Amino acid sequence: MNTDLHWKKSSFTGENGNCVELPSTLDGVRDSKHRKIQLSVHRTAVAALVRHVKNS
């Protein structure tokens, strides 16, 4: 995965900083505390995850 991506953290991140981050391309995910580990994920899976979280 490209390391030069612009990653975005949720605005709902708690004080402890436990959060996932998504790249602008929406084809991955990473832990905000362990940024060197990046998972490649299909864009439709990320979109489904975001929809699920927003609707929960």
Would you say residue 45 lies in a domain? Answer: yes
Query: What does the pLDDT read at residue 44?
Result: 93
More confident residue, 11 or 31: 31
Do residues 53 and 36 lie in contact, with contact meaning Cβ atoms separated by under 8 Å?
A: no
pTM of the model: 0.69
Inform me whether the pLDDT recorded for 4 exceeds 80.
no
Domain interval for residue 50:
7-55
Inform me whether the pLDDT recorded for 16 exceeds 80.
no
Inform me whether the pLDDT recorded for 3 exceeds 70.
no
Give the bridge partners for 21, in sequence order.
9, 30
- Number of structural domains, the chain? 1
Question: Mean of the pLDDT values across residues 8-13?
Answer: 79
Would you say residue 1 lies in a domain? Answer: no
Inform me whether the pLDDT recorded for 13 exceeds 90.
no
